[in-house]
Amino acid sequence: MEILWFLMAMALLAAIIVPYVRRRRGGIAGGFRQVAPGSPYAADPAAYGFLRQEELDIRLPGPDQDLLDVLDVVQHTQDWHAASQLLAATGKDDEIRWQRVQAFAGAASLELQQRPGVGGSWLRSWRAQSPKDAGGAAVHAEFLVQQAWRSSAAGSDDFRIILEEARTVCGDAALLAPGDPVPYIVELAVARGLGYPHEQFDELWAKVIDRAPAHMGAHLAALHYWCEKWHGSREEADHFATTAAARAPRGSLLAALPLFAVYEHLPEVNLVRSFYQSEVVTKAMGGALHAVHAARENDPLLPHVRHLLILFLVRSERWSEAMNQLVRVDGHVGALPWTYGGDPAAAYAVYRALAVAGYEASGGSPASLPR
């Protein structure tokens, strides 16, 4: 069965993305094979109303039309005022504020990458013309963090210099918006990059949870610090995730945090299906599924959990459950696990096609899929 699963992946890779770009996560190695017409491997995702790969939006994990409208205005006019107004109208303790700060910073960072020295000028104007705008300061801090991770090797002098500047701007943003957890959440990435000692990190984390104790985005950012590849261990990351899940209030997505901890410690390549059906993975998936069912439908972090569930459900060959998640997120793919690679839309499309093929091979059809 393991070889069959592997060959299915090879066939779909050939059919969907040629040439295939190896992804960092997911455990599928390259290879090519023709897909026979009528084969279950040739199942058509479009029959389920899914968007074509080139139509997938890689900017966000889920819909936020207000943000997209403002981004279009800002990028076309290079005028920052609409961004400032949107953040000013977004609650300080709302999860969506953090996502919007990330999106604005990411847009400016990408512009600068595409047009060095020119791109992202609206953010520079924002900070120069309104230095006491709390939203602008938070976006600037997150922009610096993203620049450090994108443009410099971790641990290099340039990397540390940019993150030190980000830490300063985080402090400025915190002073401009007392009670706002976002500047401290941004600093969690600084702490990871600069290697804060555990005691210093704990002090920073206390400031976050004092302001937003059940903030899912903050917990995801903190989890990265505790992972084995940074400043903790697998055991510390698992403890952090399971403790947060156990304390999660009703309807909170924090119950899904252990699945993110499992994901952070996945091996680079794993073709053993039994791993994804192990007790640890099954329990973490169960917690995430429970969190998804109990969460508010408009929770801005809900698409993050659904996207990660898709990877685990497909790898566990739980086709129907994977399809139930896909119909709720298709269209936006700016989330883990797809964003780890160079082509999020292609990575997502592979797993979507695997889910469709497995679903139809098990007797499913577009007509039988609940919406």
Kindly report, residue by residue over 242-263, the tens digit of the pLDDT: 999 999 998 899 999 999 999 9
pLDDT bucket at 115, cuts 50 / 70 / 90:
very high
Whole-number percent of the chain with pLDDT over 90 = 68
The per-residue pLDDT for 303 is 96
Q: Which CATH architecture has domain 65-212?
A: Alpha Horseshoe (1.25)
Q: What is the dihedral of CA 54, 55, 59, 65, to 10 degrees?
A: 170
Q: State residue 57 phi and psi, 5-degree precision.
A: -90, 115
Tokens of 301: 């972090």
Q: State residue 29 phi and psi, 5-degree precision.
A: -95, 160
d(CA 253, CA 95): 11
153 pLDDT more than 80? no
The string of pLDDT tens digits covering residues 14-53 is 443 333 333 334 433 333 233 343 444 456 788 899 999 9
Question: What single-letter amino acid sits at 53?
Answer: Q
Region 280-296 average pLDDT: 94
The per-residue pLDDT for 358 is 94
Q: Which residues pair with 181 in a beta bridge?
A: none
Q: Which of residues 275 and 200 earns the better pLDDT score?
A: 200
CB atoms under 10 Å from CB of 50, counted, come to 19
The string of pLDDT tens digits covering residues 321-371 is 999 999 999 999 999 999 887 799 999 999 999 999 999 999 988 888 877
> Measured in whole angstroms, how far is the alpha carbon of residue 58 from the centre of its chain?
10
Peptide bond into 337 cis (omega under 30): yes
Q: Boundaries of CATH 1.25.40 in the chain?
A: 65-212
- Average pLDDT of the chain? 86
The per-residue pLDDT for 269 is 53
Region 71-80 average pLDDT: 95
Question: What single-letter amino acid sits at 324?
Answer: N
Contact 334, 58 (CB under 8 A): yes
In degrees, rounded to 5, the angle at the alpha carbon of residue 70 between the alpha carbons of residues 80 and 136 is 35
In degrees, rounded to 5, the angle at the alpha carbon of residue 60 between the alpha carbons of residues 55 and 65 is 85
Using alpha carbons, list the distances in angstroms from residue 155 to 29, 161, 165, 259, 309.
30, 10, 15, 28, 32
177 pLDDT more than 60? yes
The per-residue pLDDT for 32 is 28
Q: Which residues pair with 222 in a beta bridge?
A: none
103 pLDDT more than 60? yes
**Long-range CB pairs of 30-34, under 8 A, 24+ apart, other chains included:** 33/7
- Residue 337's nearest CA partner among 357, 325, 351 is 351
Region 83-97 average pLDDT: 91
pLDDT bucket at 271, cuts 50 / 70 / 90:
low
> Any idea how long the chain is?
371
What three-state secondary structure class fits 57?
A: strand
Whole-number percent of the chain with pLDDT over 70 = 87
The per-residue pLDDT for 268 is 61
267 pLDDT more than 80? no
- Cβ-based burial of 277 (10 A; exposed 0-12, middle 13-18, buried ≥19): middle
CB atoms under 10 Å from CB of 56, counted, come to 20
Q: What is the dihedral of CA 101, 79, 150, 69, to 10 degrees?
A: 60
Contact 292, 309 (CB under 8 A): yes
Residue entry with tokens 């610090």: 225
Give, for 158, the enclosing helix (H) or strand (E).
helix 157-176
Region 207-233 average pLDDT: 92
d(CA 177, CA 227): 30
The per-residue pLDDT for 288 is 96
The model's pTM is: 0.85
59 pLDDT more than 80? yes
d(CA 348, CA 338): 6
> Measured in whole angstroms, how far is the alpha carbon of residue 63 from the centre of its chain?
14
272 pLDDT more than 80? no
Residues 6+ apart with CB under 8 A from 148: 158, 159, 162, 163, 166, 193
Helices then strands, counting H and E runs in the chain, come out as: 17, 0
d(CA 262, CA 258): 6
